[in-house]
Amino acid sequence: MIVRMGLMKDIIVGVMRVSSKYGEGFTNLWEKMTEFHTTLVATGELQLKRQRQQKVWMWNMIQESVTEYLCNHPAVRNQIPNLEEKVVRGDITPGLAADILLRTFSKKKKSVNSVNTD
């Protein structure tokens, strides 16, 4: 098996037999895992992987929060069941349904933000 690495060249990884039933192979497996980890740290690959993960996690959290905020908006929430049904029936495209919900959200946000509080 070949493991594709970013900074490092490809690493050829062997297959190891391990048996939990007979308690065999765990010492060798742990040694190989530790060796692999040491290589990742030494080459900077582990840090790169973690940085990429952090970026992905950041955007996942943003997407979840924005989706939750959007879906909990009263005007949007009221339209979701009807639009979902239309999408499932093929009456409208998913893109059109998304546009309608986003426009609804934007209109309500603008009217709330434009209220004069003086």
Single-letter residue type at 56: V
Section 29-44 average pLDDT? 91
**The pLDDT value given to residue 62:** 98
For 52-73, letters b (16+ CB in 10 Å) and e give eeeeeeeeeeeeeeeeeebeeb
Reply yes or no on whether the pLDDT at 5 is more than 60: no
Regarding predicted confidence, which is higher, 110 or 22? 22
Per DSSP, the residues of 26-91 read HHHHHHHHHHHHHHHHHHTHHHHHHHHHHHHHHHHHHHHHHHHHHHTSHHHHHHHHHHHHHHHHTS
> For residue 109, what pLDDT band results from cuts at 50, 70 and 90?
low
**The pLDDT value given to residue 118:** 42
Reply yes or no on whether the pLDDT at 9 is more than 60: yes
For the stretch 47-77, pLDDT in tens is 999 999 999 999 999 999 999 999 999 999 9
- Mean pLDDT of the chain, nearest integer: 86
**The pLDDT value given to residue 116:** 44
Regarding predicted confidence, which is higher, 88 or 108? 88
Cβ atoms 4, 13 nearer than 8 A = no
